[in-house]
Structure 1
Amino acid sequence: MTCGDQAAQLGSESQKDKYLPSLSKLHKVCAYALTEPDYGSDASSLNTVARKVPGGWVLNGRKRWPGNSSFADVLVVLARNTSTNQVNGFIVNGGSPGLQISKIENKVSMRMVQNCDIELKNVFVPEDDRLPGANSFQDLVNSLAFSRVMAAWVSIGIAVGVYDACRRYLGERKQWRVPLAAFQLNQEKLVRMLGNIQAMWLFGWRLCKLHGSGKMTIGQASLGKAWITKQARETVALGRELFGGNGIVTDFHVGKAFCDMETVYTYEGSYEINALIVAREITGISSIRPTSRL
């Protein structure tokens, strides 16, 4: 979804006409390549470069973590323009010569998503496939704000699923000849989960209203992503506790959700990075770049 959003917000009209219809109907899959092996939170320091050549651009570098890129038809790749030193966006077709993609193995979370390592060796991109709205890293940051809201809603969905599973489980499983739902401590945890979900839902709804009216700031999006995923993480952890030993197996859904929530808590900016973005907006002081010590 982020990849399609990038094309919609930063692409030309001809690029939108060419790519968005098939992407919106899921006839084609798109992957978004920003993070690199050595640059995650410090994404603006990326090393992948784009060199201008007759008729287009040549890309060289490495990317890590783009979801489902192993079978993507199209990739949006961010690279540093060697002429301007600014970060630009490029549309790369899957299977392009010089594009090497390998699936990351041994994940314990979000296993259904095929995250990959990508290497670009002299990959040619026609001039028509450069995103004209991506002329700096700030352009890309602005377009990514809503993807943080989407990550927040993913967490809400995971938390709601765990809550529903817990409510059924506590009513069906018995210990000492009574349902687990009869115990006061279990009831308190269930109520805490529901309170978290209601608060997360209202926060997510408010962010969508702000975005729809064009009033949402980057700090508000980061606050939503940071706080909602934090509350969802607590909610899912409570659910795992309520399931006892059954909470660490995939049979009852909760064990898988517990692991998946760790991924959502981290991607689209970690809790700490998003918190610092919010703090920068409300104080006017940036503390994201620490002073190096030699």
Structure 2
Amino acid sequence: MIKKLKNMLQLLKHVDLQQLDALSKKVDIPALMDGMSKMSEEQLKGMAKLLTSDRKKREAPEIDADFYNIEAKLSADDRNLQLKVRGFLEREIKPIVNKYWLHDEFPFEIIPKLAELNVCGYVYKGYGCAGGTSLMDGIIAAEFGRIDPSIATFLGVQSGLAMGSIYMCGSEEQKNEWLPQMQRLEKIGAFGLTEPEVGSATAGGLTTTCRKTAEGWVLNGQKKWIGNSTFSDITIIWARDVDDNQVKGFIVRKDNPGFMVEKIKGKMALRIVQNGLITLTDCLVQESDRLPLANSFKDTAKVLQMTRAGVAWMAVGCARGAYENALDYTLKRKQFGKPIASFQLIQNHLVEMLSNLTAMQTLVFRLSELQDEGKLKDEHASLAKVFCTLRTRDIVSRAREVMGGNGILLEYNVARFLADAEAIYSYEGTKEINSLIVGRSITGISAFV
């Protein structure tokens, strides 16, 4: 009996005088005490737990989308660089992207700041570049994608496609002329492969032509969806030689006669990226601006293989950004008196998102390891591009789902990812084309038309 009385007194410690006074106006206190005296010790403990549970505010765990702690495999220097890039993007890019995305404009003021970050052309050796690993280059692409896929695409075109074409197919003179300036973002590059009527069929169906003359090379045709081209200093143009029917690459300068760019308007995705429709009308290019090691589409494909891995990483970043913003929202948004993160259906969506994201992270990590080991094949990059962009679409869709109507508002930082994921899904090879590359590898049978 004495033990039970102690438990009752302990229970009353959790009730202050103001609460007790309010309770006395609603409840017969003597009767309540009598009832409590008849409770078992377990019942009293249960009541104490009920009274104190609301007082214990549970701190939500820190949002960490690296669920399998993959980033722990990075060296200390690489981890520091990752955090440096992340801090820069959070501080300089995140506050402005919604405004520029909405107005379909590019924030040119960030270019000098990006140059100071010193990550452009990260994997190339020499020419002012860092000579870093493909793995770290992928990590950087994901960090950019986590904040804004448009700025990630700008860097991917500059650092990967444009610089990569010169690095892999250019002469030593061309590399020395352009790569250091492009690394410092003093000169901006674009990559012209896709055409208005030729997307997936670029391997054998380019309609843009080149013809050797005494004055140089004459290019005719059009290129579409060319990122950065409205303000780039040079554009890498791929054209079919009318004499040998082989694809060749050229450095076309913005002031070359016969070169014209028209901005593509009305996009619903990657709106910060300035895509152009390029028209080449008897555009004259000097022999010194022809890429000497670009003599067939196989040479073009080498550049695409390298950058396709970067697109997979960018998709991971896009998915991570959507997931982190959605999780944060569900922890803060309350319905029926409690955070919506406490509801079973919301938690199911969050777990599905995290499962896909974790699978993507482990896949691209190994992909870049293969690249650094010199073992990367077309089918490796294609599988990563297919899987990651497909799963990203699912993640951003669920992110919008858990946010309800607010998910379509830019201010909640998921609507952009939802739209941008559609562009990432399609460029650098559609799901179908990349699937056929993998299918050919595993069956030994080409299903291309």
Asked whether the two chains share a fold, i.e. TM above 0.5, the reply is yes
Out of 171, 178, 195, the position equivalent to 1:12 is 171
- Bigger-Rg structure (1/2): 2
State the distance in 2 between where 1:48 and 1:267 align: 19
Report the aligned-residue RMSD: 0.9
State the distance in 2 between where 1:82 and 1:7 align: 23
Is 1:223 equivalent to 2:367 in the alignment? no
State the distance in 2 between where 1:53 and 1:253 align: 53
Deviation digits for residues 1-50 of structure 1 (CA, Å, limit 9, x no counterpart): 31111111111111110110011111111000000111001112011111
The secondary structure found in structure 1 opposite 2:397 is helix
Per the TM alignment, residue 283 of structure 1 is displaced from its structure 2 partner at its CA by: 1.1
- Which residue of the partner structure matches residue 197 of structure 1? 357
Q: 1:48 is aligned with what amino acid?
A: T
- Which residue of the partner structure matches residue 146 of structure 1? 306
Deviation digits for residues 191-241 of structure 1 (CA, Å, limit 9, x no counterpart): 111111111111111111111111100011100100111111111111010
State the distance in 2 between where 1:282 and 1:3 align: 31
Equivalences for residues 53-64 of structure 1 within 5 A: 53-64=213-224
Per the TM alignment, residue 126 of structure 1 is displaced from its structure 2 partner at its CA by: 0.9
Is 1:21 equivalent to 2:180 in the alignment? yes
Identical residues among aligned pairs (%):
44
State the distance in 2 between where 1:146 and 1:271 align: 17
Give ranges in structure 2 of 5+ residues lacking alignment: 1-158
Equivalences for residues 1-294 of structure 1 within 5 A: 1=159, 2-44=161-203, 45-289=205-449
Greater mean alpha carbon deviation, residues 110-119 or residues 186-195: 186-195
State the distance in 1 between where 2:288 and 2:372 align: 30
Q: 1:254 is aligned with what amino acid?
A: V
Q: 1:14 is aligned with what amino acid?
A: E
How many residues are treated as equivalent by the alignment? 289
Give ranges in structure 1 of 5+ residues lacking alignment: 290-294
Which 4+ stretches in 1 moved above 3 angstroms?
A: none
State the distance in 2 between where 1:153 and 1:189 align: 22
The secondary structure found in structure 1 opposite 2:223 is strand
Q: 2:381 is aligned with what amino acid?
A: A
State the distance in 2 between where 1:40 and 1:206 align: 29
User: TM-score, normalized by length of structure 2?
Assistant: 0.64
User: TM-score, normalized by length of structure 1?
Assistant: 0.96
Per the TM alignment, residue 55 of structure 1 is displaced from its structure 2 partner at its CA by: 4.4
Per the TM alignment, residue 95 of structure 1 is displaced from its structure 2 partner at its CA by: 2.1
State the distance in 1 between where 2:303 and 2:224 align: 20
Higher helix share: 2
State the distance in 1 between where 2:327 and 2:388 align: 21
Deviation digits for residues 39-86 of structure 1 (CA, Å, limit 9, x no counterpart): 001112011111101242111111101101000001000001111110
State the distance in 1 between where 2:173 and 2:366 align: 33
Per the TM alignment, residue 143 of structure 1 is displaced from its structure 2 partner at its CA by: 2.2
The secondary structure found in structure 1 opposite 2:267 is coil
State the distance in 1 between where 2:344 and 2:371 align: 41
